[in-house]
Chains A and B, each alone.
Chain A
């Protein structure tokens, strides 16, 4: 943690609290006190309908727990973002059940579209529940944009599949030769350009997308086909943070003025692509991967996070179950996000020795 920011730590109690607490009475303040705020981020719940009123219990419990824990945050987050993939196969039952669990959250919730929410009815029911598929808003001097980044070629979406169910299943599959890469698409990029044209270039911009707006591994759609074009629209701004779900693991990167941070899933962890890749993969070198999940603990390597928007940069505070919580914080000397503890090679946890 750099000194300039440490100086701004305020505590509600008499004693200073360590900087590594996942929950605390700490508020990170920056020069403009009107800009002090945190928001929470829950993502990738993958609520899955079995039949009648039965849903997969483990996914339910993950979301219920993240919601309950988010409600305990002190100070209260200004709002909560749900980062997409609320449903597993996009059905009304799944979206309704997920929305019901999310309704226990205190405060406003902003939604991001995930492919598991979208490819059954192309977002029609989701829109009824949560509003437009892409939008922007301003909050305490920061311009926020939510994109639907999981669209794809019209030909694949509209002409390829005999049923909506099959379309949904094909897109839900990994390493699927019938799959198709995600993209924001021209229509949304035009809207984004128009939206950003009205924003001062000194204003911090935070973009929420479901898929990474960078190319990491195509086989699992850790990928957005038109990421370069979207990045080009964001480049003129001094401080940009892109926060994405979908990957179910900690990733972070810095490209020019754009910081990238992923968020955790409440449902299950994915392995890192280099452990499996049959094709080229581009996990950012900056990223210190998470510990390999211990399959013995159902919630290991899942979690949620709250985000301090400190000086317009996103500091990610990951709450991880059965594991050490992690903080990935923007280092304003190096101009990039860094793990608060493990960034240095020597500080990393040595892999376990198995017999």
Chain B
């Protein structure tokens, strides 16, 4: 069925290309800003909202405040927004995030933008939803560094503004307040951080043929063709999340620890059996972090596998990959073009996902793919006067 879908996409694209070829050849159009503001969700599915956590303006405002509050950390410097910075498309621009007292973690901060659509949260999917995710960094030893959630609740309980907000949103007093209320408020705020309406969306879902530049258009053809990107960074008929929500070993991070894998997997399983916390292990031990999804499922076929990240707003979220090891989108293209290694000819890891293989793209084709990535930036986050 997917082949049929892919074929359909290609046919649609071909028709669209023909219709728009005259415009494409005469140069790109400037998209009027006013139209984009009408619907910044163009290209996105309906927002999934848990039945037990409906969105309300007051709850969203409370979540916003909690998200940006540095007091919920052992040294008073770490808020959620430290690593998910509003000004950096809700990332931190660092290879791996840095927590309290400058302690480095092991993984690159993923954007919160459109995280509401994820099938699972964290690079290894160890939490199913935003509510579950929000609770973990607070008590991780290299992030907010609190010993337990109660430390956070104590701060809230001594803050009259918070108390009245929780009272009005959840109808709970200081005594009945739990970390789940906190998580629900933060998750509600994060569900407002959704953004479609990129040049790609206007081209693909509205048929605005001038929305893409010529290199972007060529890049799109490669994206669904020779580059094989769409296999995991999915585009559907009426929406595009640019992720399959699955976990794949693409040769990042794992390539550097191949000799250690038998020792690491055994040590990890023993630690997990003894009740060690996965969140803590994977963010404090660089090598164990590279086991990826295996740390969650214990499935051998998931060694070194990480979640497919969305490509929406990817231009704004460098550096790339779960360990932030690739600085530019071009470096990412080169890695994939080499079939899962940074440098052509290096040995790929034994657990590499089946879909990763050399692509035989030329340098110009890779540049076109990078151009296409830059057509995935939402209008509301677009960089003005970008050199193209």
* Cβ contacts under 8 Å, B350 to chain A: 64-65, 67-69
Which of B1, B298, B303, B357 contacts A21, CB < 8 Å?
Answer: B298
A79 within 8 A of B: no
- Known: A13-B274, A296-B2. Is A321-B301 also a contact (CB below 8 A)? yes
Q: Hey, what's the 0/1 contact readout for A293-333 against B, CB within 8 Å counting as 1?
A: 00111110000000000000000000111100100000000
Which of A15, A24, A62 contacts B298, CB < 8 Å?
Answer: A24
* Cβ contacts under 8 Å, A298 to chain B: 354-355
A-B contact pairs, 23 of them (CB 8 A): A11-B273, A12-B270, A13-B273, A14-B273, A14-B274, A14-B275, A21-B298, A22-B298, A23-B269, A23-B298, A24-B298, A25-B273, A61-B354, A64-B350, A69-B300, A69-B303, A72-B300, A295-B3, A296-B3, A297-B354, A319-B301, A320-B301, A355-B1
Taking the nearest CB of chain B, how far is it from the CB of A40, in angstroms? 11
Among B266, B300, B350, B351, which residue has the most Cβ atoms of chain A within 10 A? B300
Q: Hey, what's the 0/1 contact readout for A194-215 against B, CB within 8 Å counting as 1?
A: 0000000000000000000000
- Known: A15-B273, A295-B3. Is A22-B300 also a contact (CB below 8 A)? yes
A61–B269 CA distance with the chains assembled, in angstroms: 26
Q: How many A-B residue pairs have CB under 8 A?
A: 74
Beyond known contacts A13-B273, A22-B299, A299-B354: 4 more, CB 8 A cutoff:
A13-B269, A23-B265, A64-B350, A65-B352
* Residues from 211 to 258 in B contacting A, C-beta threshold 8 Å: 231
* Residues from 55 to 112 in A contacting B, C-beta threshold 8 Å: 57-58, 61-62, 64-65, 67-69, 71-72, 74
Which of B261, B262, B270, B351 contacts A13, CB < 8 Å?
Answer: B270
* Residues from 39 to 55 in B contacting A, C-beta threshold 8 Å: none
State whether A68 touches B299 (Cβ < 8 A). Answer: no
A15–B270 CA distance with the chains assembled, in angstroms: 10
* Cβ contacts under 8 Å, B354 to chain A: 58, 61-62, 297-299, 321
* Cβ contacts under 8 Å, B353 to chain A: 299
A285 within 8 A of B: no
* Cβ contacts under 8 Å, A57 to chain B: 357
* Residues from 260 to 293 in B contacting A, C-beta threshold 8 Å: 261-262, 265-266, 269-270, 273-275
* Cβ contacts under 8 Å, A67 to chain B: 350
Closest to A354 in B: B1
A62–B352 CA distance with the chains assembled, in angstroms: 10
State whether A25 touches B269 (Cβ < 8 A). Answer: yes
* Cβ contacts under 8 Å, B301 to chain A: 69, 319-322
* Residues from 1 to 26 in B contacting A, C-beta threshold 8 Å: 1-3
A67–B275 CA distance with the chains assembled, in angstroms: 30
- Known: A14-B275, A319-B300. Is A25-B270 also a contact (CB below 8 A)? yes
State whether B261 touches A72 (Cβ < 8 A). Answer: yes
Q: A residues engaging B (CB < 8 A)?
A: 11-15, 17, 21-25, 57-58, 61-62, 64-65, 67-69, 71-72, 74, 295-299, 319-322, 325, 354-355
Closest to B357 in A: A57
Going nearest first, the 3 A-B pairs with the smallest beta carbon separation are A13-B273, A298-B354, A68-B350
Which of A15, A58, A297 contacts B275, CB < 8 Å?
Answer: A15
Closest to B266 in A: A74
Q: Hey, what's the 0/1 contact readout for B353-368 against A, CB within 8 Å counting as 1?
A: 1110100000000000
A307–B266 CA distance with the chains assembled, in angstroms: 19
State whether A296 touches B274 (Cβ < 8 A). Answer: no
* Cβ contacts under 8 Å, B355 to chain A: 297-298
A22–B351 CA distance with the chains assembled, in angstroms: 16
Among B231, B265, B274, B299, which residue has the most Cβ atoms of chain A within 10 A? B299
Taking the nearest CB of chain B, how far is it from the CB of A7, in angstroms? 20
Which of A61, A72, A320 contacts B265, CB < 8 Å?
Answer: A72
Closest to A69 in B: B300
State whether A325 touches B273 (Cβ < 8 A). Answer: no
* Cβ contacts under 8 Å, A24 to chain B: 269, 298
* Cβ contacts under 8 Å, A69 to chain B: 300-301, 303, 350-351
Closest to B5 in A: A355
Taking the nearest CB of chain A, how far is it from the CB of B146, in angstroms? 26
- Known: A65-B350, A72-B303. Is A12-B298 also a contact (CB below 8 A)? no
Closest to A299 in B: B354
- Known: A23-B300, A68-B351. Is A17-B3 also a contact (CB below 8 A)? no
Taking the nearest CB of chain A, how far is it from the CB of B3, in angstroms? 7
Closest to B272 in A: A13
* Cβ contacts under 8 Å, B300 to chain A: 22-23, 69, 72, 319
A65–B301 CA distance with the chains assembled, in angstroms: 9
* Cβ contacts under 8 Å, B269 to chain A: 13, 23-25, 74
Closest to A13 in B: B273
Closest to A73 in B: B300
* Cβ contacts under 8 Å, A322 to chain B: 301
Closest to B355 in A: A298
